[in-house]
Structure 1
């Protein structure tokens, strides 16, 4: 695999070739990845996967016309052909009044911030197998676990570089490690059914990864707790989201405030900028500079600097997420949230997104709920981004007289996201474990329908 400096040079070279071939402007992405995945099941090695990839993506502009192409063939002949094809395609493309590179004066200058995303380590298949085995062994050792879907461990290293024809070139490397376990509990005898659950952890640095025994034990305990689920009575009731599923509510938020949704007028928050969207106690922050964060980045997908920002502050929606094209169309400035792969132009994405912890413990959050549900799993994607209508299959646990009670399954929770956001209360148990993090969340007034 190339070093970041070599990747940066490779992206810059293809941009130079594109302008020499007749493009008025161009940008190029170089992305490479090397990963190793090991899985075991019932104590035996099940799968070993190793992959290495390297790709180049080129976007060219001829006036207001543009085209994007990509290749994994990095030979000189293939790249020369790629450049010629891209320029020819751009000349035939329809004009786009908003097309173009990011404003030159807004580009990141100087050295990228140091985010400590690459620990420089390597993992052997033997060491990963030991981690996967330890995770599964711990899960299977939990009393009540009756079968296993396996344990797994992974290690990866990636390089990402961006160069533009108007003066930007930079690259960075990142490592990633993961461990997971998935097991089943219960029995099909006597009309029973098996239930499954899992646990996982990911980290940029191997030393920050949870112990596999911790992950395995958590997976086993979660599965056993779900044995013999009951059914909920239908009706309106408070819904409490476990943090591992509550983060999806922020995913719906970022989709609704993306530049594409706003310019196409396909967002349930279309007129919400600068207004109260959540209750006063809710703040949502985006921090691309978190050291060794899972979604940290030193610059965005167009070469603009990135910085921590409040997306929601004390309930007020403070910003859209805009790449340059959407910003031009809206008469605004890009927000540094452009994100892109090798193919196509930029979209938008937050980085390390989180909802700030509230002031009340989880027990206090639920202690006045006489009849409610604690959701640990969401199923399906019944969310309408235009209207905000929300309907998801779910599983979890009853809340009875302020306490978590027995498991329940096969029910649907429904509402409208605008009302859900206004009726949302965060607990104080925020942990930074994922790319998007939230504390336990309580949402009033949802409708529960038993399956």
Structure 2
């Protein structure tokens, strides 16, 4: 019989109190995942996993400990609680540890308005059919020599969080995905690229034919790639990877990094970090978005807020502990799994889009690099010095001249972010809505 997640979390808290905990919070998560992979027109792999995991965090004064398990029997819950309390009593004191005050907690925790759950439940045969259609569409693109992988998946997740401060809430979400990786060329001349789509509702998913076609066209476009010239040139980060550039900013304003003093933006509050006119907005209440949630991992309310307004940094990303370390309130950004303590994290995010297309930015750039793929990373968290391996296309006279690979781009994130010029091509259904970004004067190491 399926166990009620709310009952599990409250059983964990009751067991923790019985074992001597001063306070506790607990989370229970149930996952059901189905994935299908095809190759050469046949089923290659099928996987199904389902299970429930539980996590318990207990406090003994200002000492805390966390434990987790996938065994939800009553005797295991009791053992888990005893173990957690014993661990907490010998843990070092943390003056910033503790649950939220009851007055800080989210009131209405209903997720109905977020529309995160879909009743569609595709069976393995349906997912296989989708994957086969995507593979066939990719192989139909002239120049595609083979497929590396084509997969489809469906998942459901339900979670419940409860705490001894009186909070109790839960919600579920569904996910559907389809992706294809195509290869062009032969032998040492092979190039590969991908395309995929992921949605909370099956009906919103792009068609298999479109996904396969785009993957195939991308792989073929990379044929004959060579190194770009070495020098200092403008760069455009394609929309498919541009959110990673903004991700470096998010890492620098994360409460953990700021509280440790290990952030190149630690003294930048109230200063310009993006060009004037650009906003960076977090909105955890977007319907059907994968990063939406009605409350955070500590039971605090979530809501829309500007992390950057008109280019100026407005807020750190904080949970309770990092907020206390900095003498600030939590921003409702705690994320929590079954293992360990909560930590600050951002879900849905959008950057102000520009007035011009990516192609118009390319014409404005004249000569430079369009990056479509990044590998590796060397980021100095305290200085913002940046270096990454890249591949994509060399631009001359505002047009794509040839495919390029095996190069490195380097610069300083503070300088890079202050010069970004956004295009208008962001996909608005994504959790991170970030358009293609042009950045001035990066150092390219190529041929």
TM-score, length of structure 2 as denominator length: 0.98
- Give, in whole Å, the separation in 1 of the partners of 2:131 and 2:433: 25
Q: What is residue 336 of structure 2 aligned with on the other side?
A: 340
CA contact under 8 A between 2:111 and 2:171: conserved in structure 1? Answer: no
- Give, in whole Å, the separation in 2 of the partners of 1:301 and 1:110: 15
CA contact under 8 A between 1:368 and 1:401: conserved in structure 2? Answer: no
Q: What is residue 443 of structure 1 aligned with on the other side?
A: 439
Q: What is residue 139 of structure 1 aligned with on the other side?
A: 138
Q: 1:69 aligns with which of 63, 67, 74?
A: 67
CA contact under 8 A between 1:35 and 1:155: conserved in structure 2? Answer: yes
Q: What is residue 147 of structure 2 aligned with on the other side?
A: 148
- Give, in whole Å, the separation in 1 of the partners of 2:429 and 2:382: 30
Tell me the SS of whatever aligns to 1:405.
strand
4+ runs deviating over 3 angstroms: none
CA contact under 8 A between 1:380 and 1:393: conserved in structure 2? Answer: yes
CA contact under 8 A between 2:289 and 2:429: conserved in structure 1? Answer: no
Structure 2: which 5+ runs fail to align?
none
CA contact under 8 A between 1:199 and 1:216: conserved in structure 2? Answer: yes
Within-5 A mapping of 1:30-429: 30-114=28-112, 115-188=114-187, 193-429=189-425
Tell me the SS of whatever aligns to 1:156.
strand
- Give, in whole Å, the separation in 2 of the partners of 1:367 and 1:393: 24
CA contact under 8 A between 2:11 and 2:77: conserved in structure 1? Answer: no
- Give, in whole Å, the separation in 1 of the partners of 2:198 and 2:2: 24
- Compute the displacement of 1:230 (Å): 2.4
- Give, in whole Å, the separation in 1 of the partners of 2:217 and 2:44: 23
- The two structures, once aligned, show a CA RMSD in angstroms of 1.2
- Give, in whole Å, the separation in 2 of the partners of 1:2 and 1:402: 59
Q: 2:426 aligns with which of 427, 430, 436?
A: 430
- Compute the displacement of 1:2 (Å): 4.7
CA contact under 8 A between 2:283 and 2:348: conserved in structure 1? Answer: yes
- Give, in whole Å, the separation in 2 of the partners of 1:148 and 1:123: 24
Tell me the SS of whatever aligns to 1:167.
coil
Structure 1: which 5+ runs fail to align?
none
CA contact under 8 A between 2:30 and 2:52: conserved in structure 1? Answer: yes
Tell me the SS of whatever aligns to 1:84.
helix
- Compute the displacement of 1:26 (Å): 0.4
1:240-275 per-residue CA deviation (whole Å, 9 max, x = no partner) reads 010111110121111111111011000011101111
TM-score, length of structure 1 as denominator length: 0.97
